Amino acid sequence: MLNPAVSERDHSDGPAGAPVTLVEYGDFECPHCGRAYPIVEELRRQMGKKLRFVFRNFPLSEMHPHAEKAAEAAEAAGAQNRYWEMHSALFKHQNALDTPHLVMYAGEIRLDTERFSQALSSHTFQTRVRDDFMSGARSGVNGTPTFFINGARHDGAYDLEPMLEALQAAAE
């Protein structure tokens, strides 16, 4: 089961009272998460107001050297109310997640790049990223992406059809 449950602390998109909450533990540099990204976007589109989507950071830093910095970049964007814009930018540019590129994406989504750069250089959001990681570990996450539907781990395939079926079943 998901531990802790979804709260105001999480970055979520969709109604809080939606019948289905999909939580993804992901890594912005993970190729599997990159393949899951358009699937999740399509699920969000098809489910509409029936779905609340939550993304939690689970950077696998030993395999993906830019993952933790990318997660901090998403959190820094969130502090400027642009979390989802940065989330999309990071997945669309998975192969370019070094600091100069992160700052470039920040500019493209109209962040205060000086404030953003300061947050990255001082690791302002490192604790937040690590808290997400530890919550994943407590929830039994050992790889990315890992999904939870209404608090229960989804161990099935994360292709569009099986995920859509699982989400629709949870909505009923």
- φ, ψ for residue 110, nearest 5 deg: 65, 40
Q: What pLDDT is recorded for position 118?
A: 98
Q: What is the pLDDT of residues 2-50, one digit of tens each?
A: 999 999 999 999 999 999 999 999 999 999 999 999 999 999 999 999 9
Q: Is residue 5 situated within a structural domain?
A: no
Residue 128's CB is within 10 A of a number of other CB atoms, namely 18
Q: Is residue 92 situated within a structural domain?
A: yes
What is the number of structural domains in the chain? 1
Residues 75, 80, 82, 87: what is their CA dihedral angle, to the nearest 10 degrees? Answer: -20
Q: What pLDDT is recorded for position 135?
A: 98
Q: Is residue 142 situated within a structural domain?
A: yes
Q: Is residue 3 situated within a structural domain?
A: no
Q: Is residue 21 situated within a structural domain?
A: yes
Q: What pLDDT is recorded for position 153?
A: 97
Residues 147, 150, 153, 156: what is their CA dihedral angle, to the nearest 10 degrees? Answer: -70
Q: Is residue 6 situated within a structural domain?
A: no
Tell me, what CATH number does 61's domain have?
3.40.30.10
Per residue of the chain (172 residues), give pLDDT as tens.
999 999 999 999 999 999 999 999 999 999 999 999 999 999 999 999 999 999 999 999 999 999 999 999 999 999 999 999 999 999 999 999 999 999 999 999 999 999 999 999 999 999 999 999 999 999 999 999 999 999 999 999 999 999 999 999 999 9
Domain around 46: 11-171
